[in-house]
């Protein structure tokens, strides 16, 4: 998880590129041997939604002029089928067909890392600006602001979860890429890009739909900063002092507290365009196989109704395998509303930190989604590292690290015990899934409270006279 944070700290750009290229080389080597690692059949890595083997199956069905969704094999987007499908069937002289797809994953991972890095740079700059605006820059002068973008990108590239999901022959690197693209677009102020990333990410895996709230905040209020109240206060304070001393400096860019409605409207305009575009493309490709209704039923319907109960690292499969059919619909609603319940309070509490809000939403949805995989954790863990400056006082980090390591080692062993040896049973495996969920909860709780503490500290520093 965070083992590379230190290695990445205080390093120049050269270090970043060296390590980034090393990680790409490692991926290429591992993906060459991925046939022996057999990761694509692991339940932790590929889910019914993301498995490329299922995609290949869907592609063949489509080649035979059968609906790709027939037989409950494929549940992804029809666009992905058209783009990645030919790659699954193509072979480079003698090598297995997985190489091309792995290459796509590697490229996706690399682009994601670059985008994370760029987002991190923007965030660090914004961090510095907001500290300056609050007049706290002198206080923080002797501590170095870590280049969180570099660290986060390296964590993303070297996280074992990312590596495993990259060579595990599935589409989660691509889904992650679009989430990050949307985040980058929003934080860099590129409205069309943000809308594009959001639409595609939601189209591919549905859950990024909730990211619309942080993206709106990002576009409306600007980047992560201490609570806006403080700026108003300190504007008054600084304004008074400075107007006495030097009048000319007053016009420097001070953080605006107004909501930029124009950009948000623009965002929705672009989002509508992209949605229409995607739907038209889908409709074209699904023309002969039941149209859009069929697609919605087989992709989003499949995700929301939790049809596939094969074991994964989430908690839903076990529950729905046990629950009586009579209650099933009720609990499907309960579980999904769980995600929605948390959106509003968090949005209110963290509206001044939209990027952090993205992390929290992603972590919560990866905990409660119907078919989670380690690729989801890879994404939110590296987003967490973007806030390494703010979260420097986070508690329980070591405990969480040990927990993640322990669970990710124990989970395959329990699976082996259950499936291969027959001496364990489903409860053994589900126990690790529950432990994993608890660790994610603790991570979210601890990081949010660390963030709020940081804000409190800033407020205290602002209000106390220097």
Partner 1 sequence: MAETEPAVKSKPRPIMRISLFLVSHSLLFSVVCCTAGIVALLILPLLAKNTYISENALMPGSASPMLSNDDASDGYRFYNRIMDLDAKTTIAGNEIPELIAEHIKELDGEVNYHKFLPISNKFHPLHFFLGPDAGIIQENFTCSSYGINTVGIIRAPRGDGKEAIVLVTPYNSTKITTGEALSLGIAYSVFSLLSRVTWLAKDIIWLASDSKHGEYAAVSAWLRDYNTLSFGDLKLQDEMCSPSISNGFRRAGTMAAALIIKVADSSMEFEKDNLKIYAEASNGQMPNLDLINIVNYLAVHGQGLQVRVEKIWSLLDSWWLKILGQLLELLGSVAKTLNPQWKFGIPVADYVEGSATLASSLYNQALGVPTGPHGAFRDYQVDAITMEISPKFYSSQRALFLLRVGRLIEGVVRSVNNLLEKFHQSFFLYLMTSPSRFASVGVYMIAFALLVAPLPLVATSLFSDASNSKPEKDEISSKSLPTFTSWKWLSAAKTVLFVHLWSATVTLLPYFISKIPNSTPSFNFLSWIELSLASFLFMYAIPGSFSSSSTTQPQRNEWALLKSVTIAAAFIGLCLMSVINFATAEIGALLLVPMCLTVLPLRLDLKEKPVRAFVRRACNVLLVFLGFPPIIFLLLKGALDGFSSVGFGDFWNWAESLWAWNSATYIYMCMVHLPCWVLCIRTLLHRC
Residue 456 sits in the site that holds partner 1 (CB under 8 A)? no
Indicate if the alpha-carbon torsion angle 313, 319, 321, 327 is positive or negative.
negative
Nearer to partner 1, 320 or 418 (CB): 418
Residue 139 sits in the site that holds partner 1 (CB under 8 A)? yes
Work out the number of other CB atoms within 10 angstroms of the CB of residue 94: 5
CB of 438 to partner 1, least distance (A): 14
252's tokens? 């420097």
- Measure the CA–CA gap between 245 and 252, rounded to whole angstroms: 15
- Measure the CA–CA gap between 414 and 418, rounded to whole angstroms: 6
From 143, 246, 251, 258, residue interacting with partner 1 (rule: CB under 8 A): 143
SS3 339: helix
- From residue 372 to residue 391, what is the string marking binding to partner 1 with x (rule CB under 8 A)? -----------------x--
CB of 44 to partner 1, least distance (A): 12
Nearer to partner 1, 104 or 153 (CB): 153
Nearer to partner 1, 22 or 293 (CB): 22
Residue 160 sits in the site that holds partner 1 (CB under 8 A)? no
Residue 73's alpha-carbon distances to 101, 191, 201, in angstroms, are 19, 36, 21
CB of 401 to partner 1, least distance (A): 7
From 53, 82, 121, 140, residue interacting with partner 1 (rule: CB under 8 A): 140
Nearer to partner 1, 53 or 395 (CB): 395
From 7, 260, 304, 309, residue interacting with partner 1 (rule: CB under 8 A): 7
SS3 33: coil
The answer to whether the CB of 247 falls within 8 A of the CB of 202 is no
Nearer to partner 1, 155 or 199 (CB): 155
Q: Find how far residue 274's CA is from the centre of its chain.
A: 21
Nearer to partner 1, 323 or 402 (CB): 402
With CB under 8 A as the contact rule, which of the stretches 98-106, 134-142, 248-256, 264-272 interacts with partner 1?
134-142
Site for partner 1 in 390-429 (CB under 8 A): 392-399, 401-402, 405-406, 409-410, 412-414, 416-417, 419-423
Closest by Cα among 379, 380, 25, 355 to 177: 379
With CB under 8 A as the contact rule, which of the stretches 4-12, 94-102, 200-208, 368-376 interacts with partner 1?
4-12
175's tokens? 């889904």
* 130 contact partners, CB below 8 Å, separation of at least 6: 225, 226, 231, 255
- Measure the CA–CA gap between 324 and 61, rounded to whole angstroms: 34
DSSP 3-state helix, strand, coil percentages of the chain (rounded to 5)?
75, 0, 25
The per-residue DSSP string of 372-384 comes to: --HHHHHHHHHHH
Nearer to partner 1, 144 or 241 (CB): 144
Site for partner 1 in 32-71 (CB under 8 A): 38
Helices (H), 189-324: 191-205, 212-221, 228-245, 261-285, 291-296, 302-305, 316-322
CB of 60 to partner 1, least distance (A): 22
The answer to whether the CB of 58 falls within 8 A of the CB of 73 is yes
Nearer to partner 1, 6 or 262 (CB): 6
As to burial, measured by CB atoms within 10 angstroms (0-12 exposed, 13-18 middle, 19+ buried), residue 235 is middle
The answer to whether the CB of 439 falls within 8 A of the CB of 376 is no
Nearer to partner 1, 294 or 446 (CB): 446
Nearer to partner 1, 252 or 460 (CB): 460
Could you list the residues that contact partner 1 (CB under 8 A)? 2-3, 5-7, 9-10, 15, 38, 139-140, 142-143, 389, 392-399, 401-402, 405-406, 409-410, 412-414, 416-417, 419-423, 457, 461
């Amino acid at each position: 998880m965070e083992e590379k944070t230190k290695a990445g700290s205080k390093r120049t750009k050269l270090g970043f590129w060296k390590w980034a290229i090393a990680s790409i080389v490692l991926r290429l080597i591992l993906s060459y041997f991925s046939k022996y690692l057999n990761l694509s059949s692991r339940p932790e890595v590929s889910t019914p939604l993301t498995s490329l083997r299922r995609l290949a199956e869907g592609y063949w069905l489509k080649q035979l002029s059968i609906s790709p969704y027939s037989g409950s094999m494929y549940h992804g987007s029809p666009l992905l089928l058209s783009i990645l499908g030919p790659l699954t069937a193509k072979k480079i002289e003698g090598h297995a067909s997985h190489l091309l797809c792995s290459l796509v994953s590697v490229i996706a991972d690399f682009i994601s890392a670059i985008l994370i890095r760029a987002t991190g740079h923007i965030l660090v700059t914004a961090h510095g600006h907001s500290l300056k605006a609050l007049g706290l820059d002198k206080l923080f002068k002797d501590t170095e602001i870590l280049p969180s973008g570099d660290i986060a990108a390296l964590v993303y590239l070297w996280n074992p979860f990312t590596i495993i999901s990259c060579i595990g022959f599935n589409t989660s690197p691509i889904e992650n890429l679009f989430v990050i693209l949307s985040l980058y677009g929003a934080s860099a102020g590129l409205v069309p890009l943000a809308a594009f990333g959001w639409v595609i990410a939601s189209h591919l895996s549905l859950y990024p739909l909730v990211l619309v709230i942080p993206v709106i905040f990002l576009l409306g209020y600007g980047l992560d900063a201490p609570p806006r109240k403080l700026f108003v206060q300190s504007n008054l304070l600084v304004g008074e002092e400075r107007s006495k001393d030097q009048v000319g400096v007053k016009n420097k860019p001070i953080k605006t507290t107004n909501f930029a409605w124009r950009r948000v409207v623009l965002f929705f305009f672009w989002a509508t365009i992209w949605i229409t575009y995607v739907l038209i493309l889908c409709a074209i490709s699904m023309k002969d196989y039941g149209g859009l209704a069929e697609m919605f039923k087989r992709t989003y319907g499949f995700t929301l109704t939790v049809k596939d109960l094969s074991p994964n690292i989430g908690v839903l499969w076990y529950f729905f395998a046990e629950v009586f059919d009579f209650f099933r619909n009720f609990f499907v609603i309960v579980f999904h509303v769980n995600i929605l319940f948390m959106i509003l309070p968090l949005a209110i509490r963290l509206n001044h930190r939209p990027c952090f809000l993205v992390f929290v939403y992603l972590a919560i949805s990866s905990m409660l989604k119907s078919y989670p995989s380690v690729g989801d954790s890879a994404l939110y863990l590296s987003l967490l590292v973007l806030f390494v400056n703010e979260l420097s006082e986070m508690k329980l980090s070591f405990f969480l690290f040990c927990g993640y390591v322990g669970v990710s080692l124990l989970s395959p062993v329990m699976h082996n015990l259950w499936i291969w040896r027959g001496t364990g049973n489903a409860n053994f495996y589900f126990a690790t899934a529950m432990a994993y969920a608890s660790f994610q909860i603790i991570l979210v709780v601890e990081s949010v409270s660390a963030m709020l503490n940081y804000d409190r500290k800033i407020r205290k520093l602002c209000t106390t006279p220097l």
